[in-house]
Structure 1
Amino acid sequence: MNGEQHISSLVLLHRHEAMPAIKALVEAHAEIEIAVSGDCRCVILCETENQSTLMDYIDALQAVPGVLNVSLIYHHMESLDELNEPMAPGLSSQGVDT
């Protein structure tokens, strides 16, 4: 195996005034991005090489003043070897014949 890819989504519940600090943290790290943003909630997408880095991002986001909660909503790990394999002909991305 050549490594791992962890794909995760996080939901943050925060005070309105915390958003500039959340944006600054996200902009400083290429592995995370804000997918959806509301007044006091946002969804963060995270793609990391290991689970430890994911947990570090969760801790960093939780430490932002005004962040009330960080919830891991989705987490999937795949080996890089498997991700780089071509799809079988006739299969959609969901694995169902087209």
Structure 2
Amino acid sequence: MNDEQHISSLVLLHRHEALPAIKALVEAHAGLEIAAQGDCRCVVLCETNDQRALMDHIDALELLPGVLNVSLIYHHVESLGELDQPMEPGLSS
């Protein structure tokens, strides 16, 4: 069992006609969400339990017709045990 959570953001540059395929792929995977979208670019949030799953999502997005580029902008790894801990008051910015 993997005890990590990978939280990532991806910026996609795509042709306008690729957006329905991108939305369909995102809706088919519980760990993906479109956070922002423009006419020819969007930000996809990705939460996975391992790095291989993250790379599989990137590969799948890159293979969609009309997707020109997928850039990994942010990647954070946290243990599930750490994520389950309550935040201490005064530590947030």
User: Is the structural similarity TM-score above 0.5?
Assistant: yes
Q: Report the number of matched residues.
A: 93
Residue 59 of structure 2 aligns with which residue? Answer: 59
Secondary structure of the 2:47 match is strand
Aligned partner of residue 73 in structure 2, secondary structure: strand
Alignment of 1:68-79 (within 5 A): 68-79=68-79
Please, what TM-score do these two structures have when normalized by structure 1?
0.89
Return the alpha-carbon distance in structure 2 between the equivalents of residues 56 and 93 of structure 1. 33
- Distance in 2 separating the partners of 1:13 and 1:59: 14
Q: Report runs of 4+ in structure 1 exceeding 4 Å deviation.
A: none
Report matched runs for 1:6-85 at 5 Å: 6-85=6-85
Shift of 1:2: 6.4
Cα contact 1:2–1:79 (8 A) shared by 2:
no
| Deviation, structure 1 residue 91 | 2.3
TM, length-normalised to structure 2? 0.94
- Structure 1 residue 87: Cα displacement: 2.2
Identical amino acids, percent of aligned pairs? 74
Q: Deviations over 1:5-52 (max 9, x none)?
A: 000000000000000000000010110010001000000000000000
Question: Aligned partners of 2:57, 2:69: CA distance in 1, in Å?
Answer: 13
Cα deviation for residue 86 of structure 1 reads 1.9
